[in-house]
Structure 1
Amino acid sequence: MADDARDDASATRHRRDDSRYVVRTGTAGGAGGTGPSDVPGDVPGEHAARPDDPAAGAAAGSTEPPRTGPSARIGAPTRAADTGPSIRRGPRRTPDVREASTPRPNRAWWTTTLIILLAAALLIPIGVWLASSIEPEQGGALYGGRDLFVDPGSSPAVAADAAVDTDERHAAEVISARPMAVWLTPEEFPPGTVGDEVRDIVAQATDAAAVPSFVIYGMPGRDCQGQSAGGLATQAEYVRWVEEITAGLSGRQAIIVLEPDSLALGPSCGDTARRTELISAAVGSLQNSTASVYLDGGHSNWLAPREMADLLEAAGVAHARGFATNVSNMRTTDSELTYAHRVADELGGGAHAVVDVSRNGDGPAVDAEWCNPPGIALGEDPQKGPIDDVVDALLWIKTPGESDGECNGGPPAGEWWAEGAIELVENAGR
Structure 2
Amino acid sequence: MTHMTPTTRAAVVLGVAVALTAGLAVAPARAHAAPVDPSSTSVTASPTTASSPPARSSKSAERAIAAFTSRGERGSTGSPVSPDPASTSVPTVTTPAAVSQTIRSTPTTTLFRGGLYVDPAGEAARAATTLTSEGRTAEAAAARTISKQPVATWLGSWLTDAQLVKKIDGTVAAAEKVGATPLFVTYNIPNRDCGSHSAGGSADNAAYLRWNSLVASRLAGHRVVVVVEPDALTLISNCPEQTSGREATIASAVATLADAGVPAYLDAGNSNWVPPQTMAARLKAAGVDRARGFATNVSNYYPVESERAYAEKVSQATGGARYVIDTSRNGRGWKGTWCNAPGAGLGVVPSVETGTTKLDALLWIKTPGASDGECNGGPAAGKWHASYAVQLVANRATG
Q: TM range, normalised to the smaller chain?
A: 0.7 to 0.9
User: Does structure 1 conserve the Cα–Cα contact (< 8 Å) formed by 2:104 and 2:293?
Assistant: no
User: Does structure 2 conserve the Cα–Cα contact (< 8 Å) formed by 1:138 and 1:291?
Assistant: no
Q: Distance in 2 between the 1:139 and 1:347 partners?
A: 15
Structure 1 position 275, deviation (Å): 1.0
User: Does structure 1 conserve the Cα–Cα contact (< 8 Å) formed by 2:324 and 2:360?
Assistant: yes
User: Does structure 2 conserve the Cα–Cα contact (< 8 Å) formed by 1:254 and 1:290?
Assistant: no
Q: How does 1:131-170 map to 2 (within 5 A)?
A: 139-142=105-108, 143=111, 145-163=113-131, 164-170=135-141
Q: Distance in 2 between the 1:298 and 1:138 partners?
A: 20
Structure 1 position 154, deviation (Å): 1.4
1:194 partner SS: helix
Structure 1 position 151, deviation (Å): 1.1
Q: Distance in 2 between the 1:241 and 1:154 partners?
A: 23
Q: Distance in 2 between the 1:387 and 1:399 partners?
A: 26
Pair 1:206 & 2:238 matched: no
Q: How does 1:303-382 map to 2 (within 5 A)?
A: 303-349=274-320, 351-365=321-335, 368-382=336-350
Pair 1:282 & 2:253 matched: yes
Pair 1:15 & 2:47 matched: yes
2:161 partner SS: coil
In structure 1, the gaps of 5 or more residues are 27-69, 75-135
1:193 partner SS: helix
Pair 1:235 & 2:199 matched: no
Structure 1 position 16, deviation (Å): 5.2
Matched with 2:192 is: 222
Structure 1 position 139, deviation (Å): 4.5
Structure 1 position 138, deviation (Å): 6.9
Matched with 2:43 is: none
Deviations 1:166-197 (A, max 9, x none): 2111101110000000000111x223432332
Give the 3 Å change call, closer, same or farther, for CA 203–139 of structure 1 in structure 2.
farther
Matched with 1:195 is: 165
Matched with 1:177 is: 148
Q: Distance in 2 between the 1:360 and 1:222 partners?
A: 24
Matched with 2:89 is: none
Aligned residues: 317
Matched with 2:22 is: none
Of structures 1 and 2, the larger Rg is shown by 1
Greater fraction of residues in helix: 2
2:234 partner SS: coil
Residue of structure 1 aligned with 2:272, choices 287, 291, 301: 301
Q: Distance in 2 between the 1:138 and 1:342 partners?
A: 18
Matched with 1:36 is: none
User: Does structure 2 conserve the Cα–Cα contact (< 8 Å) formed by 1:181 and 1:212?
Assistant: yes
Aligned-residue RMSD, C-alpha: 2.3
TM-score (norm 1): 0.70
User: Does structure 1 conserve the Cα–Cα contact (< 8 Å) formed by 2:52 and 2:174?
Assistant: no
Identity of aligned residues (%): 41
Q: Distance in 2 between the 1:360 and 1:73 partners?
A: 37
Structure 1 position 207, deviation (Å): 0.6
